[in-house]
Structure 1
Amino acid sequence: MAGSSLLHPSPPTLINLNFRRGELGYFHSSTTTHLLNSKPRHCPLRCQSTSTEEPKTKRNLLDNASNLLTNFLSGGKIGSMPTAEGAVTDLFDRPLFFSLYDWFIEHGSVYKLAFGPKAFVVVSDPIVARHILRENAFSYDKGVLADILEPIMGKGLIPADLDTWKQRRRVIAPAFHSLYLEAMVKTFRNCSERTIVKFEKLLERESLRGGKAIELDLEAEFSSLALDIIGLGVFNYDFGSVTKESPVIKAVYGTLFEAEHRSTFYIPYWKFPLAKWIVPRQRKFYGDLKVINDCLDVLIRNAKETREETDVEKLQQRDYLNLKDASLLRFLVDMRGTDVDDRQLRDDLMTMLIAGHETTAAVLTWAVFFLAQNPSKMKKAQEEIDSVLGQDGPTYESIKKLEYTRLIAVESLRLFPQPPLLIRRSLKPDKLPGGYNGAKDGYAVPAGTDLFISVYNLHRSPYFWDNPNEFEPERFLVEKKSHVEGWAGFDPSRSPGALYPNEIIADFAFLPFGGGPRKCVGDQFALMESTVALAMLLQKFTVELKGSPDSVEQVTGATLHTKNGLWCKLQKRSDIN
């Protein structure tokens, strides 16, 4: 459940970049992941990119028109800061966050992006990110993001206005308590076991034909696994998507595609009068939404019919390991003193469904992608897993001992944050800090300013990370002293007892789940889920990429996906009985 209070979808300023399952048929852009060894435009550092060509010397007519429009409509409203003139045509070459990185290296940690009809402030600095997300958090909201997601998530935690968010956060946050998470490990394990059994059966069939390995799209498999876990953990509903497909599952994916589409399409055409009836994909979307809402209504009604109202403290002390229904829905319905309005519950559940499914599948996908290129690191993880796990699989206690496996998931989130951008809008005038090498007096931003916090840039900043583009899970075990005024450095001891590195340890140079009051409430759920699934996969199998790393093309929407799946060769480990 990475992201803003669960997820930070990418901003609605990009042209749709085509979801990996091929459901989005509009303009698209993709990038080959020349990971760890290519050079982006304007960037002397080794970093992932789509091209090694020289910077453009001439803008075309569309680019020039876009920049002129920006300057005319909003150029003078944002205070003096370095300006990057956006090239609309870049969107047809590669995802925007690559360009944001190039402009970050060229213009600095805070710059204005002149792009189309608006100007945006792009932040790539932990000091400035900390100011926006924690120190002055309630001076910012989600802006246009809330408008885009409202038809899908209503007043769920992501798009909710500040007052609604404060109320729902107080209700939902206590549900992610330690006994619930402990019980969820059993759900993670059982769902992962379905996937493992499926792989074993496929390998058995292949062995009858004399083969030793099977080829699978692991991204699709992880997507099904994550959906099953969210269904059981949040709604007490078994999608069973690892082995079957139902109208509800199809509707869920249809809604996920639409969430991706709306978070990345340049013009919000779905707001036009009659669009929901005239545009085929919008008719399909509202049909999918009805299927899911009808399902959720039944689950909510059933939970209410068996309601056992009690106080939060007693809810958190239940024997969740032996409860037939240990879901979040059960907790929310049984909580005394809360409104259990059906519509609000539905909004909460829909938000967690979309947020919790997408991000976990992406974390697992990219973790395997990196491990397949680093056999020694895969072997190191397998040795740890063999020494910790028994035949019964992961438990809440054993997760604490899987240190290296946990850090693999975290390092994957550093290199491929889910999502790569956070979006905010200033509610009142503010002054941003200058950040590293920025203006000493900072930067004034008026009310209504849209800001992108580039998590991708933060996580790969050469000013705050050593070897920022290398896959090194071990980096999170080592303290890094600060050489930057206003940044406290990286110190694992700053958050004692934390299972996973967080924004406190890295002083906002690492934001896998956001930071401040609107940080994701499901961060531990998501990371524990990823750890269990990864450990169970590596305990039984070794993984190789079917093709070269460069053949794995990447697209971005609310999260980062592959264009055509993560096709891998899977075989049983030869070093175990």
Structure 2
Amino acid sequence: MLSSTCGYGGFQKREVGFVGISGSSFFHFSSKANAKPKGPPFIRCQSTSTNEPKTRRNILDNASNLLTNLLSGGGLGSMPKAEGAVSDLFGRPLFFSLYDWFLEHGSVYKLAFGPKAFVVVSDPIVARHILRENAFSYDKGILADILEPIMGKGLIPADLDTWKQRRRVIVPGFHALYLEAMVKTFTDCSETTILKFEKLLEAEHSSGGNAIELDLEAEFSSLALDIIGLSVFNYDFGSVTKESPVIKAVYGTLFEAEHRSTFYIPYWKFPLAKWIVPRQRKFQNDLKVINDCLDGLIRNAKDTRQETDIEKLQQRDYLNLKDASLLRFLVDMRGADVDDCQLRDDLMTMLIAGHETTAAVLTWAVFFLAQNPSKIRKAQAEIDSVLGQERPSFESLKKLEYIRLIVTEALRLYPQPPLLIRRALKPDVLPGGYNGDKDGYPIPAGTDIFLSVYNLHRSPYFWDRPHEFEPERFLEQRMDLGIEGWSGFDPTRSPGALYPNEIISDYAFLPFGGGPRKCVGDQFAVMESTVGLAMLLQKFDVELKGSPESVELVTGATIHTKNGLWCKLKKRSNIH
């Protein structure tokens, strides 16, 4: 074990990244979150995969595979090929099947359905090549095509030239003083949520009860929306306590982003679809409501513009600034004049990318903790020691190491998103990865790649007990495993890091991607999640309302529940 001084006690001074919609599975299926495992040992609440290849195929599967072989042809050289059985796409999310095929075919394999073939990557050595070492030979491919109508030229779907220009402007906005000020926003919004819970519990006590039942996924979703609104563009959604047309429009747009990222045929591109299809008409109306709101906020920010240099912007007294939002930073930055449309695209991207993913990580963190009372008690002991009854601060967050590791472990088991998507802009040779072809795998330009973060995070080759919920694992050094090309897991490799990032894990852990196109705002997201979780556990004990087996998940751009995470909240019995 390494001491905490080697790990994640402080803030790393480097580029930061947002938990974002960096990938998608293109299929939308539900599954019990605890489907019985057929393969490796698994935490009792989870769904997993098997290393036993299917031996029986139905008629539909056989017909599908025959069509695949006829239409997709050879290609991709000697790369192992997984035949995508149609039956594998129903009843559980695609990434579970990708895990099965990973154990069967290896770290790099070809997956073909009908005429379309993908390369699936489940190896940190290959991931590092794609995301860092040869990053500008790849773009977002299909994902950019899907999200461009919603996010325009925001950072996620932007072409390379636009991305380079906007990243240079946006990244400086996530500086230390801004993050420090945002901790107050995180605590203010979380306190509103906690006060809501306390009032509900008081009402329950008056009628003789001692617990309330809540869908915590929905509550976390409202909390995340309020935080994003205030921190990014200084707009108070107030969604924890009220509803409004803007809030409804935001959720409608979020659902449409999810729908488009999980639907295989882009019917919304068909002529007249946005007028004929009721869902698309509603989406256009929702988009107009949000855009009108954002346009008004941009106009107000520009009307009160105080243009200055980046260095001076980063030295402002953000704790006492009336508007400490990222929009204010972007508008006031000298030499960064940009049209309203681009600003709106930037804001829309961060609204969507920064909302549902944070709600998801809090949801799954509570899901795991509720089944591990000893870990809840350990977390509450740290909260009592560090915070007592005080609110979290920028400095105290550095000391909430175990809470941050809980958030990190939730992101390992259920990464948001489970897949990153890339498309080769030019011919390349992928490394073979662990146990792969030593000469690698040539791929032609235009090859679409699924980089399975889920497989990376649960690889039995790079993680001990990969399916078990163990936040403490990130304090352990894992070196000298005899894996050529992988330098192991070493917390000392990135001193002061807020969480065990891709540098520490040498690309075996990619909760926020990696390389130059890593999403902007990872420290923001980890801090936000840590505050929300700490303030919940500071006041309440949490139990699942039903069994873990009753929780169903659906997946697309993020992994979330099908019918909410219903929990029982009681006032803490062991407050010190």
TM-score using structure 1 length: 0.94
2:542 matched residue in structure 1: 543
2:406 paired residue number: 408
Which residue is equivalent to 2:31?
A: 31
Q: 2:133 aligns with which of 132, 135, 139?
A: 135
Code of the aligned partner of 1:558: A
RMSD: 1.8
1:403-482 counterparts in 2 under 5 A? 403-482=401-480
Q: Out of 222, 231, 242, which is 2:229 matched to? A: 231
- Residue in 2 that maps onto 1:156: 154
Could you tell me whether the CA contact under 8 Å between 1:188 and 1:532 is conserved in 2?
A: yes
Q: CA separation in 1, counterparts of 2:439 and 2:474?
A: 33
Specify the SS of the correspondent of 1:575. coil
Describe the SS at the equivalent of 1:111. strand
- Equivalent residue, structure 1, for 2:516: 517
Structure 2 counterpart SS, 1:68: helix
CA distance, structure 1, for counterparts of residue 500 and residue 210 of structure 2? 38
Distance (Å, rounded) in 2 between the aligned partners of 1:238 and 1:79: 54
* Amino acid in the other structure paired with 1:492: P
Please state if 1:358 is matched with 2:332: no
Alignment of 1:11-160 (within 5 A): 11-12=25-26, 14=27, 17=28, 29-34=29-34, 38-40=36-38, 43-46=39-42, 48-49=46-47, 56-160=54-158
**Corresponding residue for residue 206 of structure 2:** 208
Q: Structure 1 stretches (4+) deviating beyond 4 angstroms? A: 2-5, 50-56
- Inter-CA distance 44–183: structure 2 relative to 1 (3 Å threshold): closer
Query: What does the per-residue CA deviation read over 1:235-257, in whole Å, with 9 as the maximum and x for residues that have no partner?
Result: 10000000001000000000000
Which amino acid in 2 is paired with 1:123? V
Matched with 1:20 is: none
1:501 and 2:500 aligned: yes
Cα distance in structure 1, aligned partners of 2:18 and 2:196: 33
Q: 1:7 aligns with which of 12, 21, 33?
A: 21
Secondary structure at the residue paired with 2:575?
A: coil
After alignment, is 86-95 or 366-375 more displaced?
A: 86-95
CA shift, 1:8, in A, is: 1.3
What is the CA-CA distance between 1:57 and the residue it aligns to?
Answer: 3.5
1:3 CA drift (Å): 8.2
Contact 2:19 2:525 in 1 (8 A): no
Question: How has the CA–CA distance of structure 1 residues 5 and 445 changed in structure 2, closer, same or farther, with 3 Å as cutoff?
Answer: farther
Q: Give the secondary-structure state (helix, strand or coil) at the position aligned to 2:398.
A: helix
- Report the Cα distance in structure 2 between the residues aligned to 1:423 and 1:51, rounded to whole angstroms: 22
Amino acid at match of 2:565: L
User: What is the CA deviation profile of residues 182-205 of structure 1, one whole-angstrom value per residue up to 9, with x for unaligned ones?
Assistant: 000000000000000000000000
CA contact (8 A) 2:253 2:286 kept: yes
State the distance in 2 between where 1:474 and 1:53 align: 27
Contact 2:541 2:572 in 1 (8 A): yes
Q: Match of 1:22?
A: none
How far is the alpha carbon of 1:69 from its aligned partner? 3.6
Equivalence for 2:218: 220
What's the secondary structure of 1:257's corresponding residue? helix
- Give the Cα–Cα distance (whole angstroms) in 1 for the partners of residues 154 and 64 of structure 2: 34
Which residue number corresponds to residue 570 of structure 2?
571
Residues 71 and 114 in structure 2, CA contact (< 8 A), matched pair in contact too = no
Residue matched to 1:168: 166
Aligned 8 A contact 2:19 2:522 in 1: no
Which moves more between the two structures, 322-331 or 72-81? 72-81
Within the candidate set 286, 298, 301, 1:300 is matched to 298
Question: Are the aligned partners of 2:42 and 2:468 in contact in 1 as well (CA < 8 Å)?
Answer: no
Change in Cα spacing, 1:260 to 1:251, as seen in structure 2 (3 Å) is same
8 Å contact from structure 1 (residues 3, 355) kept in 2: no
Aligned AA (1:232): L
SS of aligned partner of 2:118:
strand
Structure 1 residue 73: Cα displacement = 3.4
Offset of 1:45 from its aligned partner? Answer: 5.0
Distance change (3 Å), C-alpha of 1:318 and 1:51: closer
Confirm whether residue 336 of structure 1 aligns to residue 348 of structure 2: no
Output the CA distance in 2 between the equivalents of 1:262 and 1:434.
32
State whether structure 2 residue 379 is matched by structure 1 residue 381. yes
Q: Which runs of 5+ in 1 are unaligned?
A: 18-28
Pairing 1:260–2:274 present = no
1:478 maps to a residue whose letter is E
- Separation of aligned partners in 2, 1:320 and 1:69: 60
Alignment-derived partner of residue 21 in structure 1: none
Structure-1 separation of matches of 2:51 and 2:426 = 41
Aligned partners of 2:121 and 2:514: how far apart in 1? 15
Distance 1:353 1:311 in 2: 26
Q: CA deviation at 1:327?
A: 0.3
CA deviation digits over 1:386-412, x for unaligned, max 9?
111144400000000000011000000
AA aligned opposite 1:165:
W
Is residue 155–residue 164 contact of structure 1 (8 Å, CA) maintained in 2? Answer: yes
CA deviation string 1:215-267 (max 9, x = no partner): 00000000000000000000100000000010000000000000000001111
Identity %: 82
CA distance in 2, matches of 1:50, 1:468: 11
Query: Offset of 1:52 from its aligned partner?
Result: 8.5
Work out whether residues 3 and 9 of structure 1, in 8 Å CA contact, stay in contact via their aligned partners in 2.
no
Q: Which amino acid aligns with 2:573?
A: S
Number of equivalenced pairs: 559
Query: Is the alpha carbon distance of 1:545 and 1:3 closer, same or farther for their aligned partners in structure 2, counting shifts above 3 Å?
Result: farther
Q: Aligned partners of 2:328 and 2:143: how far apart in 1?
A: 29
The residue number in structure 2 matching 1:182 is 180
Distance in 1, matches of 2:506 and 2:293, equals: 42
Aligned-partner Cα distance in 2 for 1:384–1:7: 32
Give the conservation status (yes or no) of the 8 Å contact 1:218–1:567. Answer: yes
| Distance in 2 of aligned mates of 1:267 and 1:482 | 46
Of 162-171 and 108-117, deviating more is: 108-117
Q: Does structure 2 conserve the Cα–Cα contact (< 8 Å) formed by 1:384 and 1:404? A: yes
In structure 1, distance between residues paired with 2:41 and 2:229: 42
Following superposition, the deviation at residue 575 of structure 1 comes to 1.4
Q: Deviations over 1:445-500 (max 9, x none)?
A: 10000000000000000000011111111111111113201000000000011111
Provide the residue aligned with 2:10 in structure 1: none
Letter matched to residue 560 of structure 2:
H
Q: Tell me, in whole angstroms, the C-alpha distance in 2 between the residues paired with 1:297 and 1:206.
A: 43
* Distance in 2 of aligned mates of 1:46 and 1:215: 28
Q: 1:162 to 1:215 in 2, by over 3 A?
A: same
Residues 27-67 of structure 1: per-residue CA shift (max 9 Å, x gap):
xx3111227xx424xx3554743788985444344433433
Kindly indicate whether the alpha-carbon contact (under 8 Å) linking 1:75 and 1:114 is maintained by their aligned counterparts in 2. no
Aligned equivalents of 2:275, 2:190: Cα separation in 1: 40
- Equivalent position amino acid for 2:166 in 1: R
Q: Tell me if structure 1 keeps the 8 A contact 2:216–2:567.
A: yes
> Which residue number in structure 2 is paired with residue 554 of structure 1?
553
Partners in 1 of 2:18 and 2:424 — Cα distance? 16
Q: 1:93 to 1:519 in 2, by over 3 A?
A: same
The Cα shift of 1:70 comes to 3.1
CA distance in 1, matches of 2:41, 2:214: 34
Structure 1 counterpart SS, 2:502: coil
Contact 2:21 2:558 in 1 (8 A): no
Quickly say closer, same or farther: Cα 1:44–1:529, change in 2 above 3 A.
closer
